[in-house]
Amino acid sequence: MGRPKSFEPDAVIAQAMETFWTKGYAGTWPADLAEATGVAK
Protein backbone atom coordinates (compact mmCIF):
# COMPACT_ATOMS: atom_id res chain seq x y z
CA MET A 1 0.00 0.00 0.00
CA GLY A 2 1.40 3.43 -0.98
CA ARG A 3 1.52 6.61 0.99
CA PRO A 4 -1.68 8.64 1.06
CA LYS A 5 -1.62 11.84 -0.99
CA SER A 6 -0.95 14.89 1.13
CA PHE A 7 -2.58 17.21 -1.41
CA GLU A 8 -4.87 17.18 -4.41
CA PRO A 9 -3.03 18.22 -7.59
CA ASP A 10 -6.15 19.84 -9.10
CA ALA A 11 -6.65 21.96 -5.98
CA VAL A 12 -2.99 23.05 -6.01
CA ILE A 13 -3.24 24.08 -9.66
CA ALA A 14 -6.47 26.00 -9.01
CA GLN A 15 -4.90 27.90 -6.11
CA ALA A 16 -1.78 28.69 -8.14
CA MET A 17 -3.90 29.97 -11.03
CA GLU A 18 -5.90 32.16 -8.67
CA THR A 19 -2.66 33.63 -7.29
CA PHE A 20 -1.37 34.39 -10.80
CA TRP A 21 -4.71 35.99 -11.75
CA THR A 22 -4.69 38.14 -8.62
CA LYS A 23 -1.03 39.24 -8.56
CA GLY A 24 -0.04 38.76 -12.19
CA TYR A 25 2.82 36.65 -13.47
CA ALA A 26 5.52 39.24 -12.74
CA GLY A 27 4.11 39.97 -9.27
CA THR A 28 3.89 36.37 -8.07
CA TRP A 29 6.82 35.00 -6.07
CA PRO A 30 7.46 31.33 -5.20
CA ALA A 31 6.68 32.18 -1.58
CA ASP A 32 3.24 33.45 -2.70
CA LEU A 33 2.55 30.14 -4.42
CA ALA A 34 3.79 28.14 -1.43
CA GLU A 35 1.53 30.09 0.92
CA ALA A 36 -1.52 29.88 -1.35
CA THR A 37 -1.20 26.18 -2.09
CA GLY A 38 0.25 24.87 1.16
CA VAL A 39 3.08 23.22 -0.77
CA ALA A 40 6.64 23.79 0.44
CA LYS A 41 9.04 25.90 -1.58
Range of the domain at 6: 1-41
pLDDT at position 5 over 70:
no
First to last CA, the chain: 27
What is the average pLDDT across 4-30?
A: 91
pLDDT at position 3 over 70:
no
CATH label of the domain that carries residue 3 = 1.10.10
Domains held by the chain: number: 1
pLDDT at position 1 over 90:
no
pTM of the complete model: 0.75
Summary count for the chain: helices (H), strands (E): 2, 0
Which pLDDT does position 6 carry in this prediction?
Answer: 72
Which pLDDT does position 2 carry in this prediction?
Answer: 63
